[in-house]
Chains A and B, each alone.
Chain A
């Protein structure tokens, strides 16, 4: 592969329910600190959720926050943090060669719900419907807000990909760099989903909304007592560059993205299809030129639903049979399901393993579901291993969208 087609990660900005920067996020993953807490929302009442407490005023004025959306604010925070982390000379960067690619599970529900509630207070008189509704709810809003905030004049759009969106945002950024469309991609995913009651109500009606007397234990993939999804907000945006550009400026390179794949189940609105998941992972491995045994960490998608966890484990068990150096973990057990941010956040939490050699566990597994048993599934306690050079990150979503991303330690 030519250097033009080799894409590397040079900056990471994130907000997760248990950390507003990579170092804090990683420390809490290693310490077993959950970010899930009590939460209440209109009509649903008391529930649990992953809530973020990043400093929104670090990069925005109060008026901008008032005008924009939560997804926009999360995107702006993460994108600015990614650039700061990258060491890029932002002031002198050609902003027309920067692209913004933000994955979202959904967008517009929050604002629409709020406005319907608002006009309900005025006898549904549409004179009280806000003029901010359309710019807040257009699908490109989160990425567009970043361009206005950062003066980026290159392309921007969101990638709607259900809960695979974080990975898909990164894949889009990578592809645009490979095509030469941009020189810097700010790519990843965001979620504002905890601010829409419809997401909670929808999962509840689907019998897929997690509950537990201790919020920190509500998200429990692979445990026999798991009872659904904890909904979370958050975001992770990566600065991606072509290898030659990154090396040319002496950038610190987190890792190289060496493989990816996306496919579709073509079978059901909500039920996963392990065979298509398996094909997706195998396609990513093929693109990376790696064998299953070359993967050191598999960051699972598992959300804490009965069937979804079992089916992903079945697919992974098949692919990674006889791979003694492959370890499995899960990050949703700490932060819940950050929807459009999930893939990008979960990958980010694992990236420091390339340096510290530790696989963070999946927490809240009191009794492992035998159908979720995987060799080297890291449960409740971190594991120090001899070598971590590769990480495979799964993200799957409704309507049967599957995505897999593979990163590799970059050695000059």
Chain B
């Protein structure tokens, strides 16, 4: 997957987790929780869907790496680039 593919995969997951939010105008450099109504359970949903859909395990210690869309892609790229 390219970085663009990975970003879209994350957006697709977030869109499913918070379906009332507009995810089309996300600033990739700004924290997701500053742009969306994301609570801790929603965040765990995102982690679960990464596991289910893409086989990526995100340990709790790495959760801060998922703060922004850009940091998500940086973190996920090594795990997803060959998928």
Binding site for B on A (CB under 8 A): 61-63, 66-67, 122, 127-128, 130-132
Contact = CB atoms under 8 A, between A and B. Distances in A.
Contacts of B83: none
Given A128-B51, A131-B48, A61 B20 contact: yes
A131 B41 contact: yes
A131 B18 CA distance: 16
A63 B19 contact: yes
Interface in B7-31: 17-21
| Chain B contact residues, majority secondary structure | helix
Contacts of A127: 51, 57
A132 B57 CA distance: 18
B20 A63 contact: yes
20 contacts: A61-B20, A62-B19, A62-B20, A63-B18, A63-B19, A63-B20, A63-B37, A63-B42, A66-B17, A66-B19, A67-B41, A122-B52, A127-B51, A127-B57, A128-B51, A128-B52, A130-B48, A131-B41, A131-B44, A132-B41
Nearest to A66: B19
Contacts of A61: 20
Contacts of B48: 128, 130-131
Contacts of B44: 131
A62 B57 CA distance: 27
Interface residues of B, number: 14
For A63, A66, A128, the residue with the greatest tally of chain B CB atoms inside 10 Å of its CB is A63
A125 to B, nearest CB: 10
Interface of B: 17-21, 37, 41-42, 44-45, 48, 51-52, 57
Contacts of A63: 17-21, 37, 42
Given A127-B51, A131-B44, 15 more contacts: A61-B20, A62-B19, A62-B20, A63-B17, A63-B19, A63-B20, A63-B37, A66-B19, A67-B41, A122-B52, A128-B51, A130-B48, A131-B45, A131-B48, A132-B41
A67 B39 CA distance: 11
A67 B20 CA distance: 13
A127 B37 CA distance: 25
A136 B19 CA distance: 19
Nearest to B16: A66
Contacts of B52: 122, 128
Contacts of B57: 127
A132 B45 CA distance: 9
Contacts of B42: 63
A70 B17 CA distance: 17
A246 B42 CA distance: 42
Contacts of B41: 67, 131-132
A183 B78 CA distance: 59
A130 B41 CA distance: 10
Contacts of B45: 131
Nearest to A135: B41
Contacts of A62: 19-20
Contacts of B51: 127-128
Contacts of A131: 41, 44-45, 48
